[in-house]
Structure 1
Amino acid sequence: MKPLYPIFLDISDRLCVVIGGGPVAERRVGGLLDAHARVRVVCLTATERLQQWAAMGRIELRMEPFQPVHLDDAMLVFAVTNEHTVNEEVARSAKERNLLVNVADAPEQGHFIVPSVVRRGDLCLCVATGGQQPKLTAQIADELAERYGTEYEKLLQLLGKLRSEILTATATDPQLRQEALERLHEQTPKLLAMIRAELDPEPEARAVLNQLLRPWLSQSSPKEGQR
């Protein structure tokens, strides 16, 4: 495999087409739905979960042989059937339309591979071995999932909230903004430990930031005679 360029795509409300209806297709669709994509699945037989998603209106399911027209308006294409010749046809049709395509059984025939993913809210950890060692990829992903638990989702929610408030409060003072963001980052280990102990870390974080920002806020507030 050639060296690959890692990238995170915003596919929210963008059409992604999955050709195939087996377990691999189901995993691809699940990941696409997590990213809020619109999903079209084309296959002759579909797993029970794919059928359930279709019944719920979460995906468009077309139980028919692949045709190039199925790729209309797509942003990404996934060829994941158990028929190599069909996957080749999907890849060829996608390339003719200048669409990015992933080919499950022949990664070198596509434009990208799908890594193993560990999600903790906005934290997204991806592992890939260039399509060469899927089992090793899965093993490393499992290790990351154990290392980075659900507490990181709560941590990122809090940090994101406080960061937004810092940016607003220091809109005219870039130096103070940087100092406040660095101070917030320094608090990360303590906040994480509090979350793991099932304690609310927000008061602790706010106390540190308020102490830092109070002098600036008092200076920027209107004086009594200026109101």
Structure 2
Amino acid sequence: MPHKKFPYYPIFLDVEDHDVVIVGGGAVCTRKAETMMRYGANVTVVAPDVTEEIAGWAESGKINLRRKEYEDGDLDGASIVIASTDDECVNGRVARDCRRRKIPVNVVDVTHLCEFIVPAIVDKGSVHLAISTGGKSPALARTLKEDLQKLVGPEYSELNDLLGSLRPSAKKALPTDADRKRFFDGILARGVLQMLRDGKRDEAHETIARACEEAGVEFPARAK
């Protein structure tokens, strides 16, 4: 087997309606549960003691809560597991049990026990940027996140939504991947991102509409 050049393979997962088990009930697990709920996961928290937020979510039916010590059976049906307890032995057991069951596991801030790590996320509407230092420096990842938050404005999300709305009609009008690549690259080359950044929304839409007309691609009414 060749030596790995990179420790982790970057990937975006759709966790909607997937069962995610979080072992631990402190502040870190609260943040992890909140994030997983935001992305539509079915969250189960396993811990004898939990924060007020976790207890409140459980009472309102937003998550499942098992107020108990961790057991191997708590992993039944789990697609993803996250562990962050104050007991290293429990964290280690969770990691071993997950590996035996072939369930991806993240033990927060214990890289050698992780099968996946969670990146710092820059959320700009429909555009998400994930940042990882391979678990070596969370502080640097946070710094990169702060820098990108300033660099990437709302115009990226707006343009992403506009271009996304063109994909169905572009697939009908332009038969090959190369044709579609030229079409979308051509739109970007016309400077529409800068137009949106400068608040020239009508000009940007008109520019995209002209590109569509030239290529025989329908410009959706909802994008006008």
Give TM-score scaled by structure 2 length: 0.84
1:70 maps to what in 2?
74
Paired residue type of 2:47: C
RMSD of equivalent CA atoms: 2.5
Identity of aligned residues (%): 32
Matches within 5 A, 1:10-89: 10-89=14-93
Matches within 5 A, 1:1-227: 3-170=7-174, 172=175, 176-187=179-190, 189-194=191-196, 196-197=198-199, 199-200=201-202, 201-213=204-216
Deviation at 1:178, TM superposition (A): 4.0
Cα distance in 1 for residues equivalent to 2:67 and 2:95 = 19
Partners of 1:14 and 1:75 within 8 A in 2: yes
1:18 alignment partner, SS class = strand
Paired residue type of 2:35: G
Cα distance in 2 for residues equivalent to 1:82 and 1:69 = 20
CA deviations over 1:127-184 (Å, ceiling 9, x no partner): 11222211111111111111112332222111100222211233x4666444323322
Paired residue type of 1:24: V
Cα distance in 2 for residues equivalent to 1:131 and 1:179 = 38
Paired residue type of 2:105: V
Give TM-score scaled by structure 1 length: 0.83
Q: Closer, same or farther in 2 for the Cα pair 1:157/1:55, shift >3 Å?
A: farther
1:77 alignment partner, SS class = strand
Partners of 1:119 and 1:125 within 8 A in 2: yes
**Larger radius of gyration between Structure 1 and Structure 2:** 1
Q: How many residues align?
A: 213
Partners of 2:25 and 2:46 within 8 A in 1: yes
Paired residue type of 1:164: P
Q: Closer, same or farther in 2 for the Cα pair 1:114/1:206, shift >3 Å?
A: same
